[in-house]
Amino acid sequence: MNGQIQPENAALVAKIARLVEERGWNQEDLVRQTSLNRQTVRAIMQRNGQRRLRNVTVSRIAKALGLSVDELRNAPLDRLLARMRPRPAATGDAALRQLYDQASQPELLGWLERNPGRAQALSPEEIDELLSLQGTGGPLTRAGVEHFVALLERKRRLLRQVHAVAGTEYLDLLEQLVGLLYEKVQPYASNG
């Protein structure tokens, strides 16, 4: 080579970076998944097509992404993106399908892929709340998907506990406790 950047190399680097983002992985995740060195991964994620990718590098990345080398090199990006998007099991759950279809942030897509059981447990209201937090620089980006899902799960667990206590002789005590707490937060709730 005469020092010129090969356009196919730059295109492959950009494709790999986009697929990695679709997985919801960061540079460290890609290093762990591929055992590549950090400099190589950083160059890929910064879409630096200056360095020619070695075959072993492409092979490791393809394997980590669940693709063949041929698919990674030759398949159109949009087809690979569609294939990589996680899909819910055929449960007929419209709200869960909505979550998979409307999840646009790589972080949320990656979380869905890693946590299909927890995603299945989300209620339609929780799914709506999670989807409403998306957006560039939004809460999901700043605090992380795991943080917000954990909060949703804590609320769900607490509501189950309250419901269980409400069916016992402690209903009066529960009502007093909730009343006191509500008085503390109620001014904030009405001002929001």
Distance CA(3)–CA(6), nearest Å, equals 9
Q: Is the pLDDT of residue 91 over 80?
A: no
Amino acid at 8: E
Fold classification of 7-84 is 434 Repressor (Amino-terminal Domain) (1.10.260)
- pLDDT per position as a tens digit, 106-132: 788 888 888 888 888 888 888 888 888
Task: Give, for 122, the enclosing helix (H) or strand (E).
Answer: none
**Measuring CA to CA, which residue among 85, 76, 94 is closest to residue 15?**
76
Sequence ranges of the domains in the chain: 7-84, 94-191
Amino acid at 180: L
Instruction: Extract the tokens encoding 72.
Output: 């990674």
Instruction: Extract the tokens encoding 67.
Output: 């693709």
Cβ count within 10 A of residue 22: 19
Distance CA(87)–CA(81), nearest Å, equals 12
CB-CB contact of 105 with 140 (8 Å):
yes
Evaluate if pTM is beyond 0.85.
Answer: no
Q: What is the pLDDT at residue 2?
A: 40
Distance CA(53)–CA(12), nearest Å, equals 9
Average pLDDT over residues 130-154: 85
